[in-house]
């Protein structure tokens, strides 16, 4: 039972390059999320999904695209990387029952754009 896994763990890109971050979960949760974490700014939601085949914009979606073709996978794409996208990216899933939210995070991907 791996929980939430992310690949890769580290990546360095040059401005204008593209890449895809992969998130996989084995908890059978419907909700999945992509966040970015920057110093002093907490976690900011990029995109999220409420189930297979669905995606929705979060707080900071510009420059990113996502896909949820399978329930267990959530992909985050950067079509043309910019230095402002240098950050640590976290994938998460959420178990929701009544008003209780239990969010489970992956280990993160550290991305540097030069």
Partner 1 sequence: TQLLEQSPQFLSIQEGENLTVYCNSSSVFSSLQWYRQEPGEGPVLLVTVVTGGEVKKLKRLTFQFGDARKDSSLHITAAQTGDTGLYLCAGAGGGTSYGKLTFGQGTILTVHP
Contacts to partner 1 by CB under 8 A: 4, 31, 33, 35, 40-45, 48, 50, 58, 90, 92, 94, 96, 98-108
Task: Pick between residue 64 and residue 90 the one whose CB is nearest to partner 1.
Answer: 90
- C-beta of 110: minimal distance to partner 1 in Å? 9
- C-beta of 44: minimal distance to partner 1 in Å? 8
- C-beta of 15: minimal distance to partner 1 in Å? 26
- C-beta of 112: minimal distance to partner 1 in Å? 15
Task: Pick between residue 67 and residue 103 the one whose CB is nearest to partner 1.
Answer: 103
Task: Pick between residue 17 and residue 58 the one whose CB is nearest to partner 1.
Answer: 58
Q: What angle do CA 33, 38, 41 make, to 5 degrees?
A: 90
Rounded CA gap, 105 and 76, in Å? 15
End-to-end CA distance of the chain: 36
Question: Over the range 64-79, which residues count as b (16 or more CB within 10 Å of their CB) and which as e?
Answer: bebebeeeeebbbebe
Query: How large is the greatest C-alpha to C-alpha distance in the chain, in angstroms?
Result: 44
Pairing type for strands 109-113 and 10-13 reads: parallel
């Amino acid at each position: 039972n791996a929980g939430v896994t992310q690949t890769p763990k580290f990546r360095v890109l040059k401005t204008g390059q593209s890449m895809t971050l992969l998130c996989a979960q084995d908890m059978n949760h419907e909700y999945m999320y992509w966040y970015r974490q920057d110093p002093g700014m907490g976690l900011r939601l990029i995109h999220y999904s409420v189930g297979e085949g669905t995606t929705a914009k979060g707080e900071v979606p510009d420059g990113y695209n996502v896909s949820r073709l399978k329930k267990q996978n959530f992909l985050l794409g950067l079509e043309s990387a910019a230095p402002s996208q240098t950050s640590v990216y976290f994938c998460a899933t959420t178990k929701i029952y009544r008003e209780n939210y239990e969010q489970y995070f992956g280990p993160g991907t550290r991305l540097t754009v030069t």
